[in-house]
Amino acid sequence: METPGQVLRKLTIRDDALLRRLAAEQCGRPAESSLDPKTHALVCIVALIAMDAAAPSYLCAVESARAAGASNEEIVGCLLAVVPLLGEPRVVCAAPKLGLALGYDVGAALEEAGSALG
């Protein structure tokens, strides 16, 4: 196992072997992260929110988080936790994507609420 300093050095110099190994993990939990599976999965969800990922990208991350024991409340909590850092527009954009990955159609719910009001 490499020390944190060694990992940072390798990332700083763009160690292709390390980056390929990490990229190959995709939805998995790289041992190098030293995070427990649930924390790792939640961090991945936060990264998807931060980079404005496409909706299908959330499916694997949510599946990993659930498999690691994360609740829907904790997964949605990722969205709430980053509002001060990423801003309202990014979080509002991510909400329906994350909702779909959780099995909740936010768009349909909005239409339903709108027809109930109108």
Within a domain: 73 = yes
Q: Which two tokens stand for residue 34?
A: 């030293």
Q: Which of the four pLDDT bands, split at 50, 70 and 90, describes residue 118? A: low
- Domain housing 113: 35-117
Flag whether 15 is in a domain: no
Number of structural domains (the chain) is: 1
Q: Is residue 20 part of a domain?
A: no
* pLDDT for the residue 43: 94
Q: What is the pLDDT of residues 3-62, one digit of tens each?
A: 878 888 888 888 898 888 877 765 555 666 788 999 999 999 999 999 999 999 999 899
Instruction: Please state whether the predicted TM-score (pTM) of the whole model is above 0.85.
Output: no
The answer to whether residue 5 is domain-embedded is no
- Give mean pLDDT, residues 87-105: 93
Q: Give the pLDDT confidence score for residue 25 in this predicted structure.
A: 67
- Of the candidates 71, 68, 90, which has an alpha carbon nearest to the alpha carbon of residue 79? 90
Is 30 among the domain residues?
A: no
